[in-house]
Amino acid sequence: MTASIPIAAPEERVLILDFGSQYAQLIARRVREAGVYSLLVRPDLSAAEVAAQKPAGIILSGGPSSVTDAGAPRCDPAIFSLGIPVLGVCYGMQLTAHTLGSLVEGAKSREYGRAQIDLVAESELLHGIPAHATVWMSHGDQVRELPLGFRVLASTPTCPFAAVADPSRHLYGVQFHPEVTHTPHGMEILRNFLFRVCRCRGSWRMADFVDTECARIRARVGSSRVLCGLSGGVDSSVVAALLHKAIGRQLVCIFVDNGLLRANERDLVESTFRDHFDIDLRVIDAGREFLGDLAGIEEPQEKRRRIGHRFIDVFKHAAKGIEGDVRFLAQGTLYPDVIESGQGHAGTAANIKLHHNVGGLPEDLGFELVEPLRSLFKDEVRQLGEVLGLPAHIVWRHPFPGPGLAVRCLGEVREDRLRILRDCDEILLEEIVAADLYRKTDQVFAVLLPIRSVGVMGDGRTYDSVVALRAVTTQDFMTADWARLPHEVLATVSSRLINEVKGVNRVVYDISSKPPATIEWE
C-alpha cells in the first residue's frame, strides 16, 4: 500500500521507489530535511506513472533481496530512459546495473559496517566530499562490471565500484548508505544529488504541506462533516487542528473517556480544544463499556482489536446525534504505524503489532477514513503542530498509545491495576519534568507487569506488583535507544513509587533498544 499523492502536490518533488529497505523511510526524511518534498512509492510503478508525477529526481532504495533472485523486486526498465536523474542506493545501484545489462554477483564476504571510500574521479554527486571518507556498507552482492557509459567515482579495497555515474544520462549509484548517520558526509551526498544533479530549489517547507493537505481535505470532504477521534496526544491533536483549519465547523471532535487515560487527561483536552481552538468537542463517558470488553483478556492483539471495535461503535453512536451529513472519520495514522502494521510500500514489512487506527477495524465501518498524517514521521508532525499554532505542551507531548493504559497494563486490565499504573505514570513524569529530562527524551512511561514479587516493608513481608520504567530516545520512532537516565533520578522515582503507590514493591528499568524490542511492551 502506498501513500496517496496529495492533490496539488508541490511542483518540486522526488520519488523514492521502496524496495523494502529498513532505511527507505529515512531517505524520505533526509530529502524533506533538505527542503525537497519526497514521496515513497511502490517499486513497480510504470515509467509512465512515474513521469506523470513530474519528479525532479528518482531514488531507488536499498532492499533485502538479491537482484539475481527470481522473485526479487524490479522497477520498470524504461525509468532509466526518462531523462530524470536517478540515484540507486545499495540494492538500487545493483538493480540499475543489472537492468542495464551488467553483472551483479555475491561478494566473497558480506560487507557490513563502516568502510572508507577513496575518490577516484570528480563528480557532481561527490562534490566537496573528502578524498578519503567514511561510509556505511550493508550488502552481500556487488556490481562486477559497469554498464556502458558508466565510470567509477569512488572505491574501497573490497568494493571497486563503491560509487558510479553516467552523467550523460543523469544516472548515479552508491553501494553504501548515505542516509544513515554512520556515513558522516551522507547528507552532503544527498544534497549534491538534489541540488547539483536534479537542480532542485529546496523551497518546500511544512507550511506548504498545510496548504496542500487543506486543499486535499476540502476537495475530498466537500460539505460533509468529519468526526475526529481526539485523544489529547500529539497526532490526534495535530489532525484536529489541521482539519479545523481546512473545514472549520464541519469538524466534530469526539473525545472518548475510555477509562484507560492518564491522570487529568480529560481536563487537558477540554481546556485546550474548547478554549484555545473553539472546536466543536463532544465528550463521551464509555469507561464501563471498554473495561467490560477487556475483562479477562490478556493477549495484546486481542486487547487492541477489542478497543478498536469499541471505538468504532462509540463513534457510530455519537454520529447519530450530530446534525448534517457525517461521512468521514479522521485518524492520526503516521507512517511508522503503517510500516509496523505490515502495510509498507514494498509489501515486505512484517506485521509487528496491530495498531487500532490501521488494523482491526470492522469492514462495515460506516465512515470513509481521512488520514492526513499518513505520510509523515513524528518529528514532522511536531513541526506541523507548531505551524498550526498548537501550544507547546501539546506539540511536545510524548506519544501515548491509542489503546491507552490497556497496553501498558500487562495481563488483565482491571480498575485496581489501572489505579496503580496511573499513579506510577504520574509520579514518573513529574520527576522527569523536574529533572529537565522531558524534552531530552522522546517517550517515558511505566508498565505494570503481570507478576508479583516478595518484598519487605517495615518488619512485614509483602507480595506486590512489579513496575517497569521505559525511557527512550529516537529520531523517527522506527528505531530507538534506551535513555541513559541519571541514576539519582531513577533512584528518586523508584523510592517514590514504592513508598507512595500502594501495591508496588519493586521497580525495574528497561534497557532494550528498538530493534529488537518495540518501544511499547504490548
User: How many CB atoms are closer than 10 A to CB 139?
Assistant: 20
Question: Distance between CA 195 and CA 314 in Å, rounded?
Answer: 50
| Helix, strand or coil, per DSSP, at residue 52 | helix
Look at the block and give the residue holding cell 565510470.
Answer: 151
Pick the catalytic residue from 75, 98, 170, 179: 179
C-alpha–C-alpha distance, residues 140 and 65, integer Å? 10
Cβ atoms within 10 Å, residue 467: 26
Nearest residue to 229 via CA among 380, 356, 353: 356
The DSSP line for 398-430 is PP--TTGGGGTB-S---HHHHHHHHHHHHHHHH
What are the angstrom distances between the C-alpha of 431 and each of 405, 426, 427, 495, 504? 19, 9, 6, 11, 18
Instruction: Reply yes or no on whether 177 is catalytic.
Output: yes
Whether the CA torsion 12, 18, 23, 25 is positive or negative: it is: positive
Q: Which of 98, 139, 170, 177 is catalytic?
A: 177
Tell me if 133 sits within 8 A of 141, measured CB to CB. Answer: no
Residue 33 is a catalytic residue: no
Catalytic residue among 12, 75, 90, 170: 90
The kind and range of the H/E element at 96 are helix 91-99
Q: Which of 304, 383, 371, 288 is nearest to 335 (CA)?
A: 371
Annotation says 90 is catalytic: yes
Residues 6+ apart with CB under 8 A from 357: 308, 331, 332, 333, 337, 402
Q: Which residues are catalytic?
A: 90, 177, 179
